[in-house]
């Protein structure tokens, strides 16, 4: 069995106050009118998600991973900023995915190698050829593992080239706005 991650400390902290990325840095977005962006992804994190999804596309297999970042407040709004993603070996079919039991050590190592404080702010997974939605199993996963108000499920269909972000609401879920932005170090 893989060695578990070393937890240095765990605490609940207040959300940091930070303005969202400026509009001139936004390179892509999914915008529902009259709602702020709930989720910002760096271009690098989006590129990694898409590369992971596309690497399984030909075999029509799902992928998944964690969204790594932090949560911020600005002007009475809360938003999540994804800096990176982590994953590991998977057990995947065309309609289901989970981390391979033998892959947990790699997953824990990937998390331990991050050189900054982070929050697992959600998860991403793919629905190759099926479109973007949360299945009943996805909703169950979200409720069980990602049930904080800031947690996001990001879904990609690499075949239809669609992507959407969701959060839990009441007994179901809602689509939320997201934007991909370019940081100073990205091209």
* Nearby residues of 66 by Cβ (< 8 Å), 6 or more positions away: 85, 86, 87, 111, 120, 122, 123, 124
Q: C-alpha distances in angstroms, 20 versus 16, 35, 37, 71?
A: 11, 14, 9, 11
What's this model's pTM, rounded to 2 decimal places?
0.90
Confirm or reject CATH 3.40.140.10 for domain 37-181, answering yes or no: yes
The 10 Å Cβ neighbour count of residue 100 is 14
Per the listing, tokens 């981390």 go with 99
126-153 confidence digits (pLDDT tens): 999 999 999 999 999 999 999 999 999 9
Q: Structural domain boundaries of the chain? A: 37-181
Tens-binned pLDDT, residue by residue, of the chain (187 aa) = 455 655 655 556 678 899 999 999 999 998 888 788 999 999 999 999 999 999 999 999 999 999 999 999 999 999 999 999 999 999 999 999 999 999 898 898 888 888 888 999 999 999 999 999 999 999 999 999 999 999 999 999 999 999 999 999 998 999 999 999 999 877 6
């Amino acid at each position: 069995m893989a060695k578990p991650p070393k937890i240095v400390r765990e605490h609940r902290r207040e959300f940091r106050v930070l303005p969202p990325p400026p509009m001139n840095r936004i390179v892509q977005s999914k915008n529902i009118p009259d709602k702020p962006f709930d989720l910002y992804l760096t271009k690098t994190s989006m590129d990694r998600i898409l590369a992971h999804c596309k690497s399984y596309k030909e075999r029509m297999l799902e992928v998944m991973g964690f969204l790594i970042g932090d949560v911020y407040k600005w002007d009475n709004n809360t938003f999540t900023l994804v800096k990176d993603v982590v994953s590991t070996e998977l057990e995947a079919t065309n309609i289901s995915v989970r981390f391979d039991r033998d892959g947990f050590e790699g997953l824990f190592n990937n998390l331990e190698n991050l050189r900054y404080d982070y929050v697992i702010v959600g998860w991403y997974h793919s629905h190759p050829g099926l479109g973007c939605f949360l299945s009943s199993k996805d909703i169950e996963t979200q409720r069980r593992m990602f049930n904080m108000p800031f947690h996001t499920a990001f879904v990609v269909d690499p075949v239809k080239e669609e992507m959407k972000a969701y959060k839990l609401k009441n007994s179901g879920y809602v689509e939320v706005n997201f934007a991909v932005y370019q940081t100073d170090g990205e091209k």
